[in-house]
Amino acid sequence: MQRKWFKIKASDIALLQFILEGYEGLVTVSTIDPRDAIIQISIMPDFAEDVECILEDLKERFMMKEIPSCHLQVNPC
């Protein structure tokens, strides 16, 4: 399973989770740090290309900065 981490606006957490998990079976979204608004997106292997297209579209609509996992205090390098 591929994972990606994003820093977003805290007010967008619920909406982005709702949108992404609406594509049932493609991803799961976890809030890693609600204070800093960091989410983890776990992508099902067969849908990586589809999810990448969805994420590119969402990046145009929301402030989403992808961050490497090693910069997360909960998942140190």
Mean pLDDT, each 10-residue run in order, the chain (77 residues): 95 96 94 93 95 96 89 54
The pLDDT, as a whole number, for residue 76 is 44
The pLDDT, as a whole number, for residue 42 is 96
Classify residue 58: in a domain, yes or no: yes
Q: How many folded domains does the chain comprise?
A: 1
Match 């992808």 to its residue by tokens: 66
Classify residue 12: in a domain, yes or no: yes
* Residue range(s) defining the domain that contains residue 22: 2-71
Classify residue 77: in a domain, yes or no: no
Classify residue 25: in a domain, yes or no: yes
